Chains A and B, each alone.
Chain A
Amino acid sequence: MNDQKSEPEISEDSSSPLGSGMTRQEYWKKNITCVLSLLVVWFVVSYGCGILFVEQMNKISIGGAQFGFWMAQQGSIYVFVVLIFVYVRLMNRLDREFTGTCQNEEKVQTKGEEQS
């Protein structure tokens, strides 16, 4: 009785397959690509600019601060916030493409009964 019954199963009554199909493997691959590329940015702004290459970055200045120092104490945090919202947008779009596909092509098996 523990499950949060929120997700209704995919409707099985789909008939006409439409063009842009996407299998669950493709969905997962795109998901991983999206996450990895955003994590590269995450790494560069914090570990890269803020720690590893901080001296080089400090040669640039932003307002009255050195850029490397600023990235470590402020800049990276702003980038983190932006990154999550970019991720939300990209994933919502990917989800829509995928669900559109499944509703038409039943490419996803119904979810396991372990939920109920």
Chain B
Amino acid sequence: MDVQTWTYLIVGFTFTLYIGIAIWSKAKSTKEFYVAGGNISPIANGMATAADWMSAASFISMAGLIAFSGYGGSVFLMGWTGGYVLLAFLVAPYLRKYGKFTVPEFIGERFYSKTARLVAVLCLIVVSVTYVIGQMKGVGVAFSRFLETDYNTGLFIGMGIVFFYAVLGGMKGITYTQIAQYVVLIFAYTVPAIFISLELTGNPIPQFGLLGNVSDGTPLLQKLDTVITELGFGQYTNSVMGSKLNMFAYTLSLMIGTAGLPHVIIRFFTVKKVSDARLSAGWALVFIAILYTTAPAVAAMARLKFTKTIQVDKVGEVSGNIEYEKRPEWFKNWEKTGLLKHEDKNGDGRIQYYNDADKSFASVASEYGWKGNEMTKVDKDIMVLANPEIAKLPGWVVALVVAGGLAAALSTAAGLLLAISSSISHDLLKGIFRPEISEKQELNASRIAMVGAILLAGYFGLNPPDFAAGTVAIAFGLAASSIFPVLMMGIFVKRMNREGAIAGMIAGLGVTLLYVFQHKGIMFIPGTSYMGGMEDNWFFGITPNAFGAVGAIVNFVVAFIVSKMAKDPPEEVQNLVEDIRLPQINEN
């Protein structure tokens, strides 16, 4: 069977599975719709959380990102896992003890303020919508590239599937589908990694393969360093991203952003008790770590493999570079998509791939007769997707990777859509505008909100706005600078009052947005970046993506100063704080 048939078969099978689960797990009450009834086992919830968390970006983009940034890419690995430690220690148990349905609901009640709840809903919607656009795009791209349908059809099919299980089943349907999706995606990620690790290092476990030796006896990482530095690239194992301070701030932003993302936090509302919430965070990290420790191995191996495909032999000798006509099949396939581009600058019919931005290497390169890097485009995203083809794996593995990428995108999209729809029906409608509606009406409203959220996400998937490009900066920046600090103060600072919390949130948010927009344009519209005379990343060399940590500090400082000037929170709010800090008694 060819790849195409395999892909239809495997993707078709997984989609049927998701629909089957949807029919079986219809939500009958708001509690089932918002928190899956609140009796999911910690391991099952851990698995669902892992699928919820690992998006198209984790599955498709992350390894490629690390492959081309080497050591600097560690910020993603540490940032997106270390955040779970914070979630487990500082957020999940307390919010589970609070025991209601949404994150804005907690913020509103803890700070006895509808304004605080409204600000929280706004942050949540902006974070989740930007995030969900990326997932929808991922679905469209995966379909168009591998199933030869067009992008829009792919997007509609994806929307249809999510529509089915998210609208019918709410959190309950989403949870069970996410479990299935986790199994699909982790299998799809590790199988090609095992093959490529075996081929390169003889070790079937990629995590150990990374520490192993290649066939000539030198360690893999050392070999990689040698191969790429000979071509003028920076060392793989030492290349810092920006500066140390930037890496520090970046990692911190991703960690506290993770612990402040509402669609992740609400997953911990689905377990039975506080101790289960803690345990569940542990299991979630176990399931996440399986992919996150495989990724750096895939990254290093793919980089080596890719470079060696072009630089087949000694650097500087004519025969060292592959002839363009002899390029492998996968190379041709990716050229068709435009994500890989070659331009024969010196007209020798061979491919030269090197770092022509490095001035000290330029003289060496011209001695070789090279006239610039001929790989004019190497899209980082192709690394994971091309891996099975590079390793010459059978068609079903390629198909599996497609199904895995779709599972990663759909599971994250569903989790985000639920966070959006519950904040609309529960926080805005029931909480603020129409408190008198019955549970049944609220359930209907939440389904309608879900439909609306899916249509909105679909619309943005079809017409990606300019700000979609800044997803990471904005989603993690907002979560880190607004939601995380306010949750921390709500739980750990009993005397923090409404005034302090709201001022802090607005200040943290404002500073972060100002910095991001200053660099990337207002709402990411090109040409509207301001204060252009200022040098790049002027604030201690911290990049906009890493700025959430600074925003969080501003939030804390402003909140403490303002809170000193206003009255202490009322008695019943202080009691609420006391209460969420205590363990559940007489757990069953």
Residues of chain B from 184 to 213 with CB closer than 8 A to chain A in the complex: 207-208, 210-213
Cβ A51 vs Cβ B248 within 8 A = yes
Cβ A65 vs Cβ B210 within 8 A = yes
> How far is it, in angstroms, between the C-alpha of A28 and the C-alpha of B576 when the chains are bound?
14
B399 to nearest A CB, angstroms? 29
Is B145 at the interface (CB under 8 A from chain A)?
A: no
If A65-B221, A81-B289, A114-B576 touch, does A87 touch B101 (CB 8 Å cutoff)? Answer: no
From B163-171, B272-280, B561-569, the one touching the partner chain is B272-280
Residues of chain A from 75 to 101 with CB closer than 8 A to chain B in the complex: 76-78, 80-81, 83-85, 87-88, 91-92, 94-95, 98-99
Instruction: Name the one of B212, B237, B293 contacting A78, with C-beta atoms under 8 angstroms.
Output: B293
Is B402 at the interface (CB under 8 A from chain A)?
A: no
> How far is it, in angstroms, between the C-alpha of A115 and the C-alpha of B578 when the chains are bound?
14
Is B220 at the interface (CB under 8 A from chain A)?
A: yes
Is B587 at the interface (CB under 8 A from chain A)?
A: yes
If A4-B35, A69-B221 touch, does A24 touch B586 (CB 8 Å cutoff)? Answer: no
Is B215 at the interface (CB under 8 A from chain A)?
A: no
Cβ A80 vs Cβ B275 within 8 A = no
Cβ B272 vs Cβ A2 within 8 A = no
Is A13 at the interface (CB under 8 A from chain B)?
A: no
Instruction: Name the one of A11, A58, A84 contacting B285, with C-beta atoms under 8 angstroms.
Output: A84
> How far is it, in angstroms, between the C-alpha of A4 and the C-alpha of B100 when the chains are bound?
7
> How far is it, in angstroms, between the C-alpha of A11 and the C-alpha of B585 when the chains are bound?
9
Is B316 at the interface (CB under 8 A from chain A)?
A: no
B261 to nearest A CB, angstroms? 17
Is B20 at the interface (CB under 8 A from chain A)?
A: no
Hey, which chain B residues are within 8 Å of A84, CB to CB? 84-85, 88, 278, 281-282, 285
Cβ B237 vs Cβ A27 within 8 A = no
> How far is it, in angstroms, between the C-alpha of A95 and the C-alpha of B251 when the chains are bound?
32
Most buried by B among A31, A58, A88, A102: A88
Q: Which residue of B lies closest to A74 (CB)?
A: B293
Instruction: Name the one of A73, A87, A108 contacting B585, with C-beta atoms under 8 angstroms.
Output: A108
Hey, which chain A residues are within 8 Å of B412, CB to CB? none
Hey, which chain B residues are within 8 Å of A3, CB to CB? 99-100
Instruction: Name the one of B82, B100, B278 contacting A87, with C-beta atoms under 8 angstroms.
Output: B278
A47 to nearest B CB, angstroms? 6
> How far is it, in angstroms, between the C-alpha of A76 and the C-alpha of B99 when the chains are bound?
32
> How far is it, in angstroms, between the C-alpha of A59 and the C-alpha of B330 when the chains are bound?
39
Hey, which chain B residues are within 8 Å of A76, CB to CB? 77-78, 81-82
Cβ A112 vs Cβ B575 within 8 A = yes
Q: Which residue of B lies closest to A83 (CB)?
A: B85
Hey, which chain A residues are within 8 Å of B81, CB to CB? 76-77, 80
* Chain A interface helix/strand/loop/mixed: helix
* Chain B interface helix/strand/loop/mixed: helix
> How far is it, in angstroms, between the C-alpha of A10 and the C-alpha of B579 when the chains are bound?
13
Cβ A70 vs Cβ B211 within 8 A = yes
Most buried by A among B93, B213, B220, B583: B583
> How far is it, in angstroms, between the C-alpha of A46 and the C-alpha of B84 when the chains are bound?
13
If A51-B251, A65-B210, A74-B293 touch, does A7 touch B586 (CB 8 Å cutoff)? Answer: yes
Cβ A74 vs Cβ B273 within 8 A = no
**Interface range on chain B: under 10, 10 to 19, 20 to 34, or 35 or more?**
35 or more
Hey, which chain A residues are within 8 Å of B222, CB to CB? 64
Q: Which residue of A lies closest to B38 (CB)?
A: A4
Cβ B38 vs Cβ A77 within 8 A = no
A79 to nearest B CB, angstroms? 9
Cβ B84 vs Cβ A95 within 8 A = no
Cβ B439 vs Cβ A7 within 8 A = no
Instruction: Name the one of B73, B237, B286 contacting A66, with C-beta atoms under 8 angstroms.
Output: B237
Cβ B85 vs Cβ A80 within 8 A = yes
> How far is it, in angstroms, between the C-alpha of A85 and the C-alpha of B84 when the chains are bound?
12
Instruction: Name the one of A24, A46, A112 contacting B82, with C-beta atoms under 8 angstroms.
Output: A46
A68 to nearest B CB, angstroms? 9
A80 to nearest B CB, angstroms? 5
> How far is it, in angstroms, between the C-alpha of A35 and the C-alpha of B94 when the chains are bound?
13
> How far is it, in angstroms, between the C-alpha of A70 and the C-alpha of B99 when the chains are bound?
39
What is the 8 Å Cβ interface bit string for chain A, positions 1-20, against chain B (1 contact, 0 not)?
Answer: 11110111111000000000
Cβ B289 vs Cβ A10 within 8 A = no
Cβ B213 vs Cβ A64 within 8 A = yes
Hey, which chain A residues are within 8 Å of B212, CB to CB? 63-64
What is the 8 Å Cβ interface bit string for chain A, positions 50-66, against chain B (1 contact, 0 not)?
Answer: 11101000100011111
Is B292 at the interface (CB under 8 A from chain A)?
A: yes
> How far is it, in angstroms, between the C-alpha of A112 and the C-alpha of B586 when the chains are bound?
16
Cβ B211 vs Cβ A81 within 8 A = no
Cβ A46 vs Cβ B251 within 8 A = yes
Cβ A78 vs Cβ B289 within 8 A = yes
B496 to nearest A CB, angstroms? 16
Residues of chain B from 226 to 270 with CB closer than 8 A to chain A in the complex: 237-238, 244, 247-248, 251-252, 269
What is the 8 Å Cβ interface bit string for chain B, positions 78-118, against chain A (1 contact, 0 not)?
Answer: 10011011001110010000011100000000000000000
Cβ B275 vs Cβ A91 within 8 A = yes
Cβ B82 vs Cβ A42 within 8 A = yes
B107 to nearest A CB, angstroms? 15
Cβ B572 vs Cβ A114 within 8 A = yes
Cβ B281 vs Cβ A46 within 8 A = no
Instruction: Name the one of A4, A50, A62, A99 contacting B78, with C-beta atoms under 8 angstroms.
Output: A50
Hey, which chain A residues are within 8 Å of B221, CB to CB? 64-66, 69
A113 to nearest B CB, angstroms? 10
> How far is it, in angstroms, between the C-alpha of A54 and the C-alpha of B238 when the chains are bound?
9
Task: List, sorted by A's number, 8 A–B pairs whose CB atoms are closer than 8 Å.
Answer: A2-B31, A63-B208, A63-B212, A64-B220, A74-B77, A77-B289, A84-B88, A114-B572
User: Closest 4 interchain pairs by CB?
Assistant: A64-B219, A63-B211, A72-B74, A84-B282
Q: Could you tell me which A residues sit within 8 Å of B by CB distance?
A: 1-4, 6-11, 24, 27-28, 31, 35, 38-39, 42, 46-47, 50-52, 54, 58, 62-66, 69-70, 72-74, 76-78, 80-81, 83-85, 87-88, 91-92, 94-95, 98-99, 102-103, 108, 111-112, 114-115
